[in-house]
Structure 1
Amino acid sequence: MLWVGFTVLAAFMQSWRNAFQSKLSKDVSALGVTLARFLWASPIALCYLIGLYLWQPAALPNFNAKFLAFIVSASLMQILATALMVKLFQYQNYAVGAGLAKSEALVAAILGVFFFGTQLSLLGWVGVMIGGVAVFMLSSVNGFKGLSVNIVAIGLASGTAFALTSLWVREASLNLDLPFPHRAAWVLLLVISLQTVLLLAYLTFKDKASVVALWQRPKLTLLTSIASCLGSIGWFSAMSLQAVPYVKTLGQVEIFFTMLISLLWLGEKVKVKDILGLVLIAVAAIMVMWQ
């Protein structure tokens, strides 16, 4: 059950990362906010990896072509997923935007079973489906009759991109012949480093104003990177131990933290239907833990 602890850590830190990104999105472009997620995360990931080797010495990994393909694919897909989620923040309030992106659990279950050899129990499937219904509720603007097609489309696209990222991260981790925490840490460091280099290079040439905007907001940028890296440590570790659909369904408890932050820090209102969605997410989380 170690994966449960890592998942809760990831959900808690990700809720804060999303809140910081939501704040940044008011003054910085979507790709600029996405860069903030990775900008200072690489040094933290490197320190974490070195700490693991000092705590438990292990061999250095052998990187093959298949592993590197998973790393590159996951890196690019997570950049796309994050940029789409930032767009959601600009269309909706923070809580609903983050909730829509959590459609990744259901998408990961479907893609995992058909293309990645994932096996889910009946109870696990029911839990994932309940979580999907909850996310659908959170995506509506004024109840189910008031659904915005544009927002739902972006939310599903973001969730699908996050799902593919998670599935490829797990495949990359399982491809390394190392102890559990070390292989997850290597994948984390390589993915974050590649994302930082790619986004920083692109924005430097195409949108330098976004890079400057981040430098002008050093505290918020640093907090975003720290929360993102700690959250990724939790996600990558949990996905090295358990199937992605289970991890992502339990990870929907993030929306509990999201709602609290939305109310207490961002001062946004939460509707009754959002609370009902949270209850369904709690039920889904319990079911995947007990499957």
Structure 2
Amino acid sequence: MWILITLFAAGCQSVRTAYQNTLAKEAGFLHATMARSLYGLPLVSVYLVLCYFLFGWVSLELDSAFWPIVLVCAVAQIFATYFMLRVFQSGSFALGVLLAKTEAVQAAVIGLFFLHYTLSLTAWLGVVLGVIGALVMSVKWKNISSFHKDTSLLLGMASGFCFAVATVTASMASHSLSGSIITSAGVTLWCVLVIQSIILCAIQIVKSRDICAPFRHSLSLSMKVGGFSSLGSIAWFTSFALVNPALVKTLGQVEILGTLYYSKRRFAESISKQQWVGGAMIIASVVLVVIS
């Protein structure tokens, strides 16, 4: 079941990221980052009500470890999204998404320490191959000697790390609750979005000195970002709660196919042979993970 859920999440995220890239150009990084949480909250709230009736509620103690973990998850996801949008400005749409995909192997390493998840040799090969494929697609080899000076590379790696932290903490938060794991994942996602909405809306309001600022820019496009983001996040958080997050994120590399499509068709960016080779490696990594 987690495979189908993850594939759905990857598809939604591919579309959302394309819209978010456009929104960032029209309304700025802050609004594009905020739209993902604020405009996705209504749909996630409806989903949580459905979870309550279908699967039951969960225990939610005020002194639970859930709250600090979910706070870390929310903040890490804010930085991850912000860094990726910055890569779009300094590099390209495809580059930003590809570099963020290093989160799979980073999530695997972090998960070893905090979730005590282990991977089979085949799964490790899949995770590592996927990351190498993403780097092959994104790195300009003629500039490899000065890669540490490449803003796009550094921001992309930082985005991947923050996404990995968010992925692992989302799983930790869901498993810290007692009750249906499906409802637990929904509660975790809802709390993350509320925290993110409060933080980002407050920053935008203070910065613009306009209490209605979160609703004044590209309303239609913001709703599209929020809608696809909420659908994808529901699927992501559910998968994180069901299996090792590293496997989920490696399978989620199929989003690369959508990235290449939008990069070429929507943003008129050319796809090089190097990127096609890297894409083939990523597909092979997905196959290895599914086999494992």
d(CA) in 2 for partners of 1:209 and 1:288?
48
Is it true that 1:174 corresponds to 2:172 in the alignment?
A: no
CA distance in 2, matches of 1:288, 1:225: 30
Q: Is the 1:203–1:211 contact (alpha carbons within 8 Å) kept by the matching residues of 2? A: no
TM-score by length of 1: 0.94
Deviations 1:54-106 (A, max 9, x none): 3x251342234301111111001100110000001101111111111111001
Match of 2:80 in 1: 81
**Structure 2 CA distance for aligned equivalents of residues 214 and 94 of structure 1:** 25
Amino acid at match of 2:16: R
Gapped regions of structure 1 (runs ≥ 5): none
Q: Provide the residue aligned with 1:69 in structure 2.
A: 68
| Gap regions ≥5 residues in structure 2 | none
Q: Give the CA deviation at 1:138.
A: 2.2
Q: What letter corresponds to residue 192 of structure 1 in structure 2?
A: L
Q: Which deviates the most, 18-27 or 147-156?
A: 147-156
Query: 1:208: Cα distance to partner?
Result: 5.0
Report the counterpart of residue 156 of structure 2 in structure 1.
155
8 Å CA contact 1:137–1:144 kept in 2: the answer is: no
- In the other structure, the counterpart of 1:43 is 42
Higher alpha-carbon deviation: 136-145 or 31-40: 136-145
Equivalences for residues 50-61 of structure 1 within 5 A: 50-54=49-53, 56-61=54-59
Q: How does 1:19-168 map to 2 (within 5 A)?
A: 19-54=18-53, 56-63=54-61, 64-141=63-140, 145=144, 147=147, 149-168=150-169
Q: Distance in 1 between matches of 2:142 and 2:234?
A: 36
1: distance between equivalents of 2:132 and 2:39? 36
**Superimposed CA distance per residue, residues 258-288 of structure 1 (whole angstroms, 9 cap, x where no aligned partner):** 1112222222221111111111111111111
Structure-2 separation of matches of 1:81 and 1:210: 26
Matches within 5 A, 1:153-232: 153-208=154-209, 212=213, 215-232=216-233
Say if 1:32 and 1:210, in contact at 8 Å, map to a contact too. Answer: no
Give distance in 1, aligned partners of 2:164 and 2:209. 30
Q: Provide the secondary structure at the position in 1 that maps to 2:204.
A: helix
Task: Quote the sequence identity (%).
Answer: 30
After superposition, the Cα gap between the structure-2 partners of 1:171 and 1:60, relative to the gap in structure 1 and judged at 3 Å, is closer
Amino acid at match of 1:245: A
Distance 2:119 2:265 in 1: 37
Deviation at 1:49, TM superposition (A): 0.9
Q: Which amino acid aligns with 2:196?
A: Q
Query: SS in structure 2 opposite 1:269?
Result: coil
Which amino acid counterpart does residue 229 of structure 2 have in structure 1?
A: S
Aligned residue type for 1:65: S
Mean Cα deviation higher: 146-155 or 233-242: 146-155
1:152 Cα deviation after fit: 1.3
Q: 1:139 offset after TM fit, Å?
A: 2.3
SS of match in other structure, 1:65: coil
Partner of 2:252: 251
1:134 partner amino acid: G
- Give distance in 2, aligned partners of 1:57 and 1:13: 24
Secondary structure of 2:26's aligned partner: coil
Label 1:88 to 1:209 Cα distance change in 2 as closer, same or farther (>3 A): farther
Count of equivalent residues = 289
- Large movers: runs of 4+ above 3 Å: 141-148, 207-214
Q: Is the 8 A contact 1:52 1:182 kept in 2?
A: yes
Distance apart, 1:32 and its partner CA = 1.8
2:166 alignment partner, SS class: helix
